[in-house]
Amino acid sequence: MEQEGVENPYKFDSKFSKYKSSQVAGDIRGQWGEARKASRTKGNREINFRLIAIIAVLFFIVWWFFDFDLSLFTRF
């Protein structure tokens, strides 16, 4: 953990460090990554609904497998 005001004596600066986060014109991977980040506008609502639907289907399959009687809920 570095303290503020204390510089690391073992840190060497290279001529490539200032270009580390910049993109080159031919860097397809970097451009594709930026396009992917920009296209992430969907929320997790579809995933949550899908997960609930899958759990419900599996739940009813387990009930059917164990021959659960749904008439228990209609007696009252």
Residue range 7-30, pLDDT digits in tens:
777 777 777 777 766 666 777 887
Question: Can you tell me the distance from the alpha carbon of 66 to that of 76, in angstroms, rounded to the nearest whole number?
Answer: 23
Is 16 a member of any domain?
no
Is 70 a member of any domain?
yes
Q: Which structural domain range is residue 59 located in?
A: 45-76
Is 4 a member of any domain?
no
Is 74 a member of any domain?
yes
Question: Can you tell me the distance from the alpha carbon of 22 to that of 30, in angstroms, rounded to the nearest whole number?
Answer: 9
Is 34 a member of any domain?
no
Handedness of CA 17, 23, 28, 29 (dihedral sign): positive
Task: Report the mean per-residue pLDDT for the chain.
Answer: 76
Question: Can you tell me the distance from the alpha carbon of 64 to that of 61, in angstroms, rounded to the nearest whole number?
Answer: 5
> What is the band of 39 on the pLDDT scale with cuts at 50, 70, 90?
confident
Total number of domains in the chain: 1
For residue 76, the model assigns a pLDDT of 57
